[in-house]
Homo-oligomer: A and B are copies of this chain.
Amino acid sequence: MSVAWTYDPVKSDMARVDGEIEEVARLAPAEMTEQLRHALQGGGKRVRPALTLLAGKFKRYNVGLLVSMAVGVELLHTATLVHDDTIDDAQIRRGKISIKQRWGNSNAVLIGDYLFASSARFVAETRNIRVIKLFAQTLMTICSGEIQESINAFGSDRQRYFQTIGDKTACLFAAATESGAVLANSPEDTVQALKEYGYNIGMSFQIIDDILDFVGQKETLGKPVASDLAQGVFTLPVILLLERPESTAVKAILKKNRKKGTQLLMEMVRNSSVIDECYEIAQGFSSRASAAIKNLPENPAHNCLDSLATYVTERRS
């Protein structure tokens, strides 16, 4: 995240969230402590829990409930990352060796499961059936997105890409803001506005992630460049490139020699204007995010969400 975005209106609540997350590792059975610390202190940006807290600031809220939900959201996110690494066979996560790589597949599956369970426990602490159901539904949607991604390997299009990242990523951002709004007893139109904000900011966030996978440096990315493409996952830059008439040749190469075609695609993406086009699309989602909440009252949380919508497209890692 760009240093320009800070979540000042929820800074002290975020300290509580961080504290609770540390407790998860500390209170776990001794055999898991080290692995959980590794997963939870991974230098994540914690945007999702911040969104829950911010979305909870538009009505009378109980900070304790919001903190529980925010912790649940971050734990769910971390659980999916740990399992993703076993699914994608990723060796590096956030610049550090992945759980799967260091402790093996079996441990990664178990640590991910334990994080899901911990997440469910924190969400249950809210005692709010609507957000508990939302949590379960969100995990189902994330799994569905992951499955789509693996099925679309080496062949996707804009529509399928947006559907996949919507399920895989934006859905959890939407759940983060929706749950915050619900827990603050916001009226339904506020809940829907914040949910729409979350969904659109999540789309923007993922598109930028997919751009950075091509234009970023290994050091700031914390993982190899173009790692999605290497896995056969066609993200927006590749999809836009392949839509162009001049891509007929590379398509043919890709069919004959996947490795050579993939290499060529990476170079073409970097030397074309598709990256600019992707930025524009991400900015479109960010604008829709801000527009979704434009009728909500002015307050520090609102300003903070607006600034996130701007800065999310400017981040470099």
Contact = CB atoms under 8 A, between A and B. Distances in A.
A133 interface: yes
A135 to B, nearest CB: 7
B144 A120 contact: no
9 contacts: A106-B150, A110-B147, A113-B143, A114-B143, A116-B116, A117-B143, A121-B137, A124-B133, A125-B133
Given A32-B144, A148-B31, A113 B132 contact: no
Interface string A96-132: 0000000001110111111011101100110101001
A4 interface: no
The 5 residue pairs across chains A and B that have the minimum distance between CB atoms: A117-B139, A120-B136, A121-B136, A87-B106, A114-B143
Copies of chain A in the complex? 2
A140 interface: yes
A218 B208 CA distance: 53
Given A87-B106, A110-B146, A147-B29, A140 B118 contact: yes
Contact of A121 (B109, B111, B133): B133
Counting chain A residues whose Cβ lies within 8 A of the other chain, the interface size class is 35 or more
Given A107-B147, A110-B143, 9 more contacts: A28-B144, A29-B144, A107-B150, A109-B112, A110-B147, A113-B139, A114-B143, A114-B144, A118-B140
Nearest to A130: B124
Contact of A31 (B87, B118, B147): B147
B124 A132 contact: yes
A151 interface: yes
A126 to B, nearest CB: 9
A146 B31 CA distance: 11
Contacts of A118: 136, 140
Contacts of A140: 114, 117-118, 121
Given A127-B129, A143-B117, A109 B136 contact: no
